[in-house]
Structure formats: C-alpha cells, structure tokens
Amino acid sequence: MTAGPDPGAAPQSPLAFGHTGETLHPTLVEGEVRVIGHRWSPRVHEIKTFLARSRVRYRWFDVERDQVAAGTAEYIGAGEQRYPIVILPDGSVVADPDVRELARRLGLDTDPDATFYDLIVVGGGPAGLSASIYAASEGLRTVVLEQEVPGGQIGYSAIVENYPGFPEGLSGSDLANRTVQQAERFGVEVTALCRAVGLRQQGEHRVVILDDQIELVSRAVLLSMGVSFRWLDVPGCNSLVGAGVYYGAAIAEASACRGQDIYILGGGNSAGQAALLLAQFARRVVILALEDSIEETMSQYLVDRLRQLPNVEIRTNATVSCVNGQNRLEEITIQNVKTGSTEQVRCDGLFVFIGATPRTEWLEHVVRRDEKGFILSGADVNCDLSQWPEWPLEREPYRLETSMPGVFVAGDVRKGSVKRLTCAVGEGAMAVEFIHRYGKAHPDRQQREAAQVGG
C-alpha cells in the first residue's frame, strides 16, 4: 500500500489538470489517485475514507469550487449522477465505483487464495493481525478476513502516542500498515472488504462462510472482529451520514473543514484525538460530552492539549438531540442532559464518537454471547447453562476459547476485554498459544494416522 494523504499538507493546486495536445486529462503524480466529486456527497466520503484508511495517496477535487476539475469531469462524460469520478494512477477512469471494485483496481487483496487453512482469523484489527503474525511465524497457514480495511478502528486515529516503541507517535493508519506488512512478510494472507457471514462445525473442521457464499475450512478459527461505531439515534441523523455527519472519519474529512464550525460528540480518547486534528483546519471545534468533566473519560495528556487550543471549546453534560439539513448538515440541536434545555446551532460537520457495539449478529445461535453481543470465552462459557449451544466436551474451555471448541476470540469483541490497543495485541498473541494447545489435544485424522504409523 502506498502512503496515505497528509491532512496537514497545504491544498494542492487544481492546475494539475491540464491540456496535452487536444486531450484534456489529469497529470498524475506517480502512485496517486484523484477523486472528483461534491463536498457533501456520501459516496465521495465513502471513497475518501476507504483510500485514507488504506494509505492510498489521493487528491480530492470539489467540483463546486474547482472549475478545472468540473471541466475535466464534463470532458470525461460522466453526468452528475455518476459522481464520484476516480482517476487511477494509470490514467484509467472509474465513475461511481463500488469500493470493492476500486480495491481490486488498486491491486488490494479482496479474496482468499485458497479454501483450506490452518487458522482463519476473522477481523483484521490489532488482535487479529497480532495473532496472524505469531501463527504464521510458527508455521500455520493463516488468512485474515477483514470486512473493511485491515487495521480495525485504530486506522481512524489521527495519531497514536501511547503505543510502546514509538515515542514520537504515529498515525493509526501508519501503525496498521506496518503491522499488515509484518504479517505479510511471514506469509499471512491479509484480505480487505472480505466479510464473514456464517460459521459452522463440520466434524473436526470449522467452516467460515463469506458474503459471496465461498466457504473456507480450517482446524481453528479466531474471532477478532472488534467493534463498530455506535450510531446516533436522533431525528434527521441517518439521512445525513456522509453529508456532514461522520463516524470516525476525521482524517479523511479534516482538510475539507477549513474555516468551518465543527462539533464532536463524545468525550473519550477517540474524540480528543479527532478534536486535535480538526482544530488544525476548522475555525471552531466544540466537544460535546455527557460527563461532568472530560477528565472522567479522556486521557490527561489529551485534555491538557485541548485546553491549550484557542479554537477548541468543551461543553459538558451535553448531547445532540436532533440533526437538520437539506441534502447536507446545516444545524444541530444541543441538549443539556441535566436540565433538558436545548439550543439550535449552525454546524458544518458533526463527528460522532459515542461508543461501540460488537459485530456479532452473524454469530447468533453459533457461539455464546452476552446480552450486548460480546462473545463469551473461557470460564464464562459455562456460567449460564441455559444458553445455547452447550459446551460439548468433558474438559473445560481453554482461556479465550468460545462455546464452539476450536473457535477462539480476542480483542474488543470478547466479553471482559480491556479496550486498549496493547491489550488487543497481547490477546491476539496469547490466543495462538491456546490454538496450538487445542491442535495437540484434538489432532485431525491425518495427525492421528501419522502418530499411529510412527508408533
């Protein structure tokens, strides 16, 4: 993957579009993608976010402000209904591409190379990638299935400063990219936009079903899907997602927020990191937090930096109760959660960081989960014997093993996990030890036959 966009860089000149002979075409920087579209288009937002998280260098041109880009789009012949237009590094043009199609055109892996593996890792966040590195380095043929972009939610972080070994900090996408490269160096297959929709036990094997109905078989499976952003359930919000309302997309949208009034809903570290980034571009950034003080939920180093910025305001005991706008976000209603009083304010962008939910709906009646959807493992599996399915073996579940033997869980999706980056990495590495233990205690037929011959 190539380097991603630099949110702090100055806007590039639209004169990169020009004439050569009689043909109007974009003059491309080597390895760079051009995206032409409208500022408030959800599809443009989707493409920009995908490219930013994938660390694919791109340059975005707003057709409403850039006449040269608009002229190029008109020359290409794509009507407004065909935006966004994506111009690839080889000069080829794709109008309103499907993200998976775009990934393939960029040479990203979206499909597994085989159907049988020693270990299938479902989820390419820190836990899954860490597990894949240890598994592959110990000789297990391993594939990572990531339904979005490898790296998980850490890829949304503008900067990670408290990860051991990087005293100067680095962006979340950079950390994710380094981890992917390390996994691939050991032979791990890391896929993007590859979604698991089913899991079943088939004798001594475990079968993972993908959204295109392809079935992958393995001796063991690690569930490390992480969590998804919790959506803001208030009037007017859903229709404006990608058109002023954003979930964890500060990096992709930062440069488009120049001179604007931006609001961030949430008081955790992700919200603080987003505020630091957006404050470099926006005229004003307002953090809306439910708590009496953001010190209750945000690391002190972030709080100290935010309080030093003149264009950042922190409002506590506040939430958003309504979102309004025609085709784009225009205003929000702020509600005081203690008094109930409300205030309507102009808003150019609302970035939502209000928690997360596990991605486990597809595992209903497959492995045991708690009432919130987090996966039970180890000693928790036998806590409630009324749940389905029952633990089928005489031995107790290994630590990190789910209610289906040979299927393990690590990271934020596990019930009781510590929601910290280094903890997810540690759990992923630890899961491989139990996967090895499972393999020794439950050898497959070939292993049993080999042992009999050897004896």
Please give the pLDDT value at position 447: 57
DSSP 3-state assignment of 264? Answer: strand
What does each C-alpha distance from 131 to 112, 142, 215, 228, 285 come to in angstroms? 18, 9, 22, 20, 38
- In 240-328, DSSP assigns E strands to 245-247, 261-265, 284-288, 312-315, 318-324
CA distance 441 to 308: 57
Are the CB atoms for 256 and 272 separated by under 8 Å? no
Spatial neighbors of 116 by CB under 8 A, at least 6 apart, are 216, 217, 218
Are the CB atoms for 145 and 121 separated by under 8 Å? yes
Amino acid found at 368: R
Give the tokens for residue 446: 């070939």
- In 107-173, DSSP assigns E strands to 116-122, 142-145
Q: Is 389 exposed, middle or buried (0-12, 13-18, 19+ CB in 10 A)?
A: middle
Give the tokens for residue 335: 């509600």
Please give the pLDDT value at position 68: 67
Cβ neighbours of 92 (radius 10 Å): 9
Q: Which residue has the tokens 């972030």?
A: 302
What is the pLDDT tens value at each position of the chain, 455 positions in all? 333 444 334 333 333 443 333 333 444 455 689 898 888 999 999 999 899 888 888 888 888 777 766 676 666 655 445 788 898 888 888 888 899 999 999 888 999 999 999 999 999 999 999 999 999 999 999 999 999 999 888 888 878 888 899 998 888 889 999 999 999 999 999 999 999 999 999 999 999 999 999 999 999 999 999 999 899 999 999 999 999 999 987 888 888 899 999 999 999 999 999 999 999 999 999 999 999 999 999 999 999 999 999 999 999 999 999 999 999 999 999 999 999 999 999 999 999 999 889 989 999 999 999 999 999 999 898 765 555 667 888 889 999 999 999 999 999 999 999 888 999 999 999 999 999 999 998 887 665 445 554 55
Please give the pLDDT value at position 131: 98
What does each C-alpha distance from 296 to 274, 291, 299, 352 come to in angstroms? 18, 7, 8, 18
Spatial neighbors of 241 by CB under 8 A, at least 6 apart, are 42, 247
Give the tokens for residue 252: 């992709």
Give the tokens for residue 73: 């789009």
DSSP 3-state assignment of 408? Answer: strand
CA distance 236 to 325: 8
What's the Rg (C-alpha) of the chain? 24
- In 123-163, DSSP assigns E strands to 142-145
Please give the pLDDT value at position 238: 93
Please give the pLDDT value at position 338: 95
The count of residues in the chain is 455
Q: pTM (2 decimals)?
A: 0.86
Cβ neighbours of 79 (radius 10 Å): 9
Spatial neighbors of 288 by CB under 8 A, at least 6 apart, are 263, 264, 265, 266, 315, 318, 319, 320, 334
